[in-house]
Amino acid sequence: MTLLELIKQDLKQPPIYSTDIDFIDDIFNGGIQLGQLVTITGEQESGKTKLMEQILSNVSKGFKCLYFSLEFNKYQVASYFMMKLKKGYITQKQLNNIIIVTTDLIDPSIDNIIKTIDYHIKNDNITFIGLDSTLNLYHNTLRGEEETTDIFRQLQAVTIANNVLLFAIAQNAKQDLKDDRVSIFGSQKANHFTNIMFHLKFNRDENERQLIIAKNKQNGKYKKIDIKLNTDSLIFEIDSIIEEFRKPKIEKKTDKKVSLWEVIR
């Protein structure tokens, strides 16, 4: 196929998922496009899981989701969401739209994760997946570059092949946090396989948090956003967008035309 033949095809623009979080959807022109691997990084207690669950809960208002909660067992997950249900922060319909896989239900190898994703895509028409966290997929305690790259190469492949949206929580190397640099265990190769990277900074002394859009292949927008965690509802709210954020080595700003995607709500 030539490029001319390709552009003459009647290709539909990919749909997107609205996260129902204004300060995220505004940056991505309504939501995040299917077929992408999105990572959430940040130091401990920055709120990576809370942000994941906030997006997951919002999407589950209208769509079935698959959630790998590999940091907690069945009892812990059930207790947490029961609390949210009693407080009215989630509905029974939303809970019924979330297929849950906990660490005591699966051997968390990358092969088993991919097989489980494939199964639910085919049998439950899943297009949104949350993975908390990729740290559990490592079998080599040294977490080397090769294993990190392989994990994220496979996660990207399954998102592209099935046109799904996959949010994955990842960890930073300690040196990266010291250098104020965003990466997945220090692996720039693993970064290559992600489409969008969210990074949460957390100042414990001041109880201040900041969401950084550190990579954005969807439309090229980069932002730093001051956010706060509502301690009752456990959801993030905007404080302010403080500045446009550009990755290091990008000196000139370019105006990029952004397509308007069909928004799924």
The answer to whether the CB of 101 falls within 8 A of the CB of 116 is yes
pLDDT, mean of each 10-residue run, the chain (265 residues) = 88 86 95 96 92 96 96 93 94 97 91 96 96 89 80 96 96 76 84 95 91 95 93 86 53 43 38
The confidence score (pLDDT) of residue 262 equals 38
The confidence score (pLDDT) of residue 220 equals 94
Tell me which amino acid residue 87 is. Answer: K
The confidence score (pLDDT) of residue 10 equals 84
The confidence score (pLDDT) of residue 240 equals 67
Could you tell me how far CA 242 lies from the centroid of its own chain? 22
CB neighbours of residue 208 within 10 Å:
13
Place of tokens 């749909």: 15
The confidence score (pLDDT) of residue 138 equals 86
The confidence score (pLDDT) of residue 11 equals 80
The confidence score (pLDDT) of residue 87 equals 93
Distances (CA, A) of 191 to 125, 132, 185, 186: 28, 17, 10, 9
Is the link from the previous residue into 133 a cis peptide, with omega within 30 of 0? yes
The answer to whether the CB of 170 falls within 8 A of the CB of 52 is no
Query: Alpha helices, DSSP H only, in 87-124?
Result: 92-96, 110-124
Distances (CA, A) of 258 to 11, 17, 29, 186, 255: 17, 16, 8, 31, 9
The confidence score (pLDDT) of residue 252 equals 46
Yes or no: domain 22-248 corresponds to CATH 3.40.50.300: yes
Domain borders along the chain are 22-248
Query: Structure pTM?
Result: 0.86
Residue 200, strand partner residues? 42, 211
